[in-house]
Amino acid sequence: MVRRSFLVGLSLLMSVNGCMTESRSARNFTTQPALATDIDPQQAEPEFWYTQPSAYQTRQAEFDRLWDTAVEVSRRLLFKIDRQDRRSGVLTTEPMISAQWFEPWRRELKTCGDVANSSIATYRRTIRYEFVRQGQAYTIRPKVLVERQAITERRVSGALNRSYFRRDRELNAFGSRETDAGIFIPDSYWYAVGRDPALEAFLVRQIDSSL
């Protein structure tokens, strides 16, 4: 009697485990999470984000006054002016590495999430102002591009020689998948991750209050 009860219990346990294994396997095959790199490659390009409309804008009748105010507001945030094309109505700044948590004197980051991201990775921001004439006034639309720096991984195991520290690609090919295929990835590069609407809204408010 005891032996029969033991065999019945064992068979039930095995059947339950089999069902659980089957359901887990089916769930794994049907609900695989998407990879972080499964995105449209265009979204990593600055032009993709610059072509998106801006939700914040302001107007001024005097073009020069509006232009000079945008320059002054950008410099207050420690951005350096790069391109000044008055004919095309485009004003841009140089990319600036975003502030970290121990830089409270910098004010370009407007959310706690942006501060946290900038403290654990390297981000930079570029301001682009677009000026459009509408009737007798001029409209300014700020667009802030956010980019993240990527640093390629390098193998450090094995023998180290002088070429490793010189980053000599011909002598320092350690057999990665990319180098075996004849593909040499830059040591570091920047890719666009989106726009900063909080900073765009702040720029409009600062321009309005300074006009």
What value does the mean pLDDT of the chain take? Answer: 80
Nearest CA-CA partner of 126 in 187, 69, 63, 193: 193
pLDDT tens profile 11-33: 554 554 444 444 444 444 445 55
The pTM assigned to this predicted structure is 0.71
Nearest CA-CA partner of 110 in 200, 209, 207: 200
Split at pLDDT 50, 70, 90, the class of 123 is very high
| Residue 138 reports pLDDT greater than 90 | yes
Beta strands in the chain (DSSP E): 58-60, 81-85, 90-93, 96-97, 123-134, 137-151, 188-195
pLDDT tens profile 188-198: 889 999 999 99
pLDDT tens profile 38-52: 567 788 888 999 999
Structural domains of the chain, ranges and CATH numbers in brackets: 41-152+187-210 (3.30.530.50)
- How far apart are the C-alpha atoms of 198 and 105, rounded to whole Å? 18
More confident residue, 180 or 9: 180
- How far apart are the C-alpha atoms of 13 and 24, rounded to whole Å? 16
Tell me how far the alpha carbon of residue 142 is from its chain's centroid.
18
